Structure 1
Amino acid sequence: MAADAIENDLARRFRIDPPPTLLARKSSKARIGFSRLRSSRPMHGHSIATPPEEAFAFWVPLSVPFFSNLWTAGRRREVPELRLGDAQLVDLGDHPVVSLDIPFDAIRFYITQVALDEMANEAGIRRVKGLYASNFGARDLVMFGLAQALAGAMEQSCDETAMFSECIALAFFAHIVRAYGSVPIGGRNARGGLAAWQLQRARDLVNVNLAHDLSIAEIAHECGLSSGYFARAFKRSTGVPPCQWLSKMRIERAKELLKDPRCELAEIALLCGFVDQSHFTRVFSRSEGYSPGRWRRLHCL
């Protein structure tokens, strides 16, 4: 896709003038692009979602405030208010949509999964299976520096722009695979444990799915690992096997709910992923030395 086609598509989706765009890789599947999207006035409504694709976008604001609301996979997400120096990561396979109710000015970094694969192969490192940021991202002064450099380059038009954008793409790739894909030099984590993003991804998945029968295979898949490797790496990182850690998380959530006298024990059991109240009582008593009812009486007077 040519730069003008990308500019027109972004203009339609965000209801702005065609944004200046630099392309580092122009293949329709292995593409890296940088665009400056800005609007000086608030608008009603939301951006237009596009068909899902295996690609990722980073938003780096050049001024604040920034987009105040984000939806992915049809759900509104709680995200922190971005400051200058922050970066926000969204998976374009999740139909991301933002509200357009405030002015905005940001550099949009775009990279497809195929481009990640190609550049990983060229760099001699293992495949980067997706990018992840807890709570969609936070402080990232490297990305902010790249965004400022791109903003300056977009103000000019010269023969060296293509070479400049390719250099930025290399720096962009080298940074994101370690900060958001956590690919250490030489392959896997040197200690044999999980990378920081993988451990956080596993924790987040468990925390939002305690009421469901989430399998080790599902968590491992989200971390880009086999079940066996994930289980071994998780134990090296945390000191306990995944199943034991999951049980501990369910107990901790149960303690929070026990503090609410309106919650029945049977309800708490289901909300925390136990088969029934009897199962909940057995596991809780074995862990804490008291039944859930007695624990509630001792701690919630």
Structure 2
Amino acid sequence: MNSNAIEQTLARRFHLERAPSFLARTASKAPIAFTRLKSAQALRGRSEAVPREAAFSIHVPLSLPFFSESWISGKFKSIAPATLGCAFLFDLSENPVVSLDTPFDSVRFYVSQAALDELSYDCGIRSPGGLHAPTFGGRDPVMYGLAQALAAAMEELGDGTALFADYVALAFHDHIVHTYGGVPAGVRTMRGGLAPWQVRRAQEFIDANLDGDPSIAQLASECGLSRSHFTRAFKQVLGMPPHQWRTKRRVERAKQLMQESLLGLVEIAVVSGFCDQSHFTRVFSQSEGLSPGVWRRLHHR
């Protein structure tokens, strides 16, 4: 299933016109997906029934109110008033349905049991036999932080890259297996950073694909590592996750082109891997404190 199919399915299920979604490519057996569910007004009725599957969804409210009623395996279950910073775990094998009688704005995290198993194997930890929340709607500042980062990326063209979604998915998995899966924290079989040749190979691969969107799986494969180990090791050595390193390199390529070529800013944006000039201007200004045009006038050779 691709991100468009997920968007269409969830938009229909929650009676929305759009349900922006990111699809991570961290697991080969099943996806990890993130979806923004937002309605500024109350809707009639309930969400559509969910096909039973061995999977879980975690809903994190970004604003209040939140869903007030639910039905789990056909049985009514009230939802206590939510607070910002809380998270609601649903077992999708129980066909959860919610009432849509209030406005809502949340990020839905989806993960299958197959994805949990595969990524846990990659991490060298045991896979949880399922996910369980001690309190329905309990506080979870980590999930709230991830939800805010995803929501911000969904609002800005070019920020919701697949590499970013992959990175968030690995952080999401690492958190939920310990918080909701009962796996002891700090137990891993793989440690250490990247060897010099692995650093060079990762950097070369990113530079060669600045105008594309390689996955963490591809980068890890180039270095002969698992996805989760590569992500941790990359940040340990270079001080930032892969998607931020790629953005840094895109800015550096743009600066070189502005200094040494006569290309226009639109062409430089495309050659450097940005979606368009607007995306280029926003990212460059955040990085350098100046717009590309001003920076070029000050530094053009």
TM-score clears 0.5 = yes
Contact 2:32 2:110 in 1 (8 A): yes
| SS at 2:168 equivalent | helix
| SS at 2:173 equivalent | helix
Distance 2:69 2:29 in 1: 29
Contact 1:35 1:109 in 2 (8 A): yes
Contact 1:31 1:112 in 2 (8 A): yes
> Kindly tell me: are residues 43 and 106 of structure 1, through their superposed partners in 2, closer, same or farther at Cα, counting changes over 3 Å?
same
Deviation at 1:160, TM superposition (A): 6.6
The answer to whether structure 1 residue 56 and structure 2 residue 56 are counterparts is: yes
Distance 2:20 2:27 in 1: 19
Contact 2:61 2:86 in 1 (8 A): yes
Deviation at 1:41, TM superposition (A): 1.1
| SS at 2:56 equivalent | strand
Residue 5 of structure 2 corresponds to which residue in structure 1? 5
Distance 1:16 1:159 in 2: 23
Deviations 1:2-46 (A, max 9, x none): 111110110111100121100113878421000000011111210
The answer to whether structure 1 residue 90 and structure 2 residue 90 are counterparts is: yes
Distance 1:34 1:65 in 2: 20
Deviations 1:49-97 (A, max 9, x none): 1210111000000100100101111111133221110000000000000
Residue 31 of structure 2 corresponds to which residue in structure 1? 31
Deviations 1:229-254 (A, max 9, x none): xxxxxxxxxxxxxxxxxxxxxxxxxx
| SS at 1:153 equivalent | helix
Deviations 1:95-118 (A, max 9, x none): 000000011000000000000000
Distance 1:99 1:49 in 2: 11
Residue 121 of structure 2 corresponds to which residue in structure 1? 121
Matching residue's letter, 2:123 = A
Distance 1:151 1:169 in 2: 14
Give the TM-score of the pair, scaled to structure 2: 0.60
- Structure 2 unaligned blocks of 5 or more: 189-301
Distance 1:100 1:28 in 2: 34
Residue 233 of structure 2 corresponds to which residue in structure 1? none
Distance 1:66 1:160 in 2: 25
Q: After alignment, is 99-108 or 23-32 more displaced?
A: 23-32
Distance 1:26 1:186 in 2: 21
The answer to whether structure 1 residue 104 and structure 2 residue 104 are counterparts is: yes
CA RMSD, 1 decimal: 1.9
> Kindly tell me: are residues 8 and 27 of structure 1, through their superposed partners in 2, closer, same or farther at Cα, counting changes over 3 Å?
farther
| SS at 2:25 equivalent | strand
Matching residue's letter, 1:24 = A
Count, aligned residues? 188
Give the TM-score of the pair, scaled to structure 1: 0.60
Matching residue's letter, 1:139 = R
Contact 2:107 2:151 in 1 (8 A): yes
Aligned sequence identity (%): 53
Distance 2:26 2:18 in 1: 18
- Residue correspondence of structure 1 range 203-222 to structure 2 within 5 A: none
Residue 238 of structure 2 corresponds to which residue in structure 1? none
Distance 2:37 2:160 in 1: 22
> Kindly tell me: are residues 35 and 159 of structure 1, through their superposed partners in 2, closer, same or farther at Cα, counting changes over 3 Å?
closer
Deviation at 1:185, TM superposition (A): 4.1
| SS at 1:171 equivalent | helix
Distance 1:135 1:71 in 2: 17
Residue 182 of structure 1 corresponds to which residue in structure 2? 182
Contact 2:90 2:96 in 1 (8 A): yes
Distance 1:32 1:20 in 2: 14
Distance 1:17 1:26 in 2: 28
- Structure 1 unaligned blocks of 5 or more: 189-301
The answer to whether structure 1 residue 133 and structure 2 residue 136 are counterparts is: no
Distance 2:21 2:156 in 1: 12
| SS at 1:15 equivalent | coil
Distance 1:180 1:23 in 2: 22
| SS at 1:128 equivalent | coil
- Residue correspondence of structure 1 range 150-161 to structure 2 within 5 A: 150-158=150-158, 161=161
> Kindly tell me: are residues 115 and 108 of structure 1, through their superposed partners in 2, closer, same or farther at Cα, counting changes over 3 Å?
same
Residue 46 of structure 1 corresponds to which residue in structure 2? 46
Matching residue's letter, 2:59 = W
Matching residue's letter, 1:144 = Y
| SS at 1:42 equivalent | coil
Distance 1:10 1:74 in 2: 20
Matching residue's letter, 1:87 = A
Deviations 1:194-239 (A, max 9, x none): xxxxxxxxxxxxxxxxxxxxxxxxxxxxxxxxxxxxxxxxxxxxxx
Higher RCO structure (Cα 8 Å, ≥6 apart): 2
